[in-house]
């Protein structure tokens, strides 16, 4: 995590993530996020995919429904 919660809360806009060759689009508004985990929940809702915040590595984790060499994000 290289930004503060206050900086994270300033993020709004459209986000596109390609997962397994399929573009997932969503309007992201993190202004009401109460934590990084809450921001992950908001990202998951916006994109329609599983997103979590890993406190050990201080990163958002976006998950694919598939595994192995055919899976990509």
pLDDT, position 1: 56
Those residues with Cβ within 8 angstroms of residue 4's Cβ, 6 or more apart along the chain or in another chain: none
From first to last of the 73 residues of the chain, give the pLDDT tens digit. Answer: 589 999 999 999 999 999 999 999 999 999 999 999 999 999 999 999 999 999 999 999 999 888 888 788 8
pLDDT, position 70: 78
Instruction: Indicate the pTM of the whole model.
Output: 0.87
pLDDT, position 7: 96
- Please give the DSSP secondary-structure letter assigned to residue 32: T
The strand pairing partners of 13, in sequence order, are: 28
Q: Classify 60 as helix, strand or coil.
A: strand
Q: Classify 12 as helix, strand or coil.
A: strand
């Amino acid at each position: 995590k290289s930004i503060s919660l206050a900086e994270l809360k300033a993020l709004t806009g459209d986000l596109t993530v390609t997962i397994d060759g399929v573009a997932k689009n969503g309007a992201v508004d993190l202004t009401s996020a109460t934590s990084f985990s809450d921001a992950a929940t908001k990202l998951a809702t916006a994109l329609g995919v599983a997103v979590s915040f890993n406190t050990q590595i201080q990163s958002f984790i976006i998950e694919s429904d598939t595994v192995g060499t055919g899976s990509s994000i």
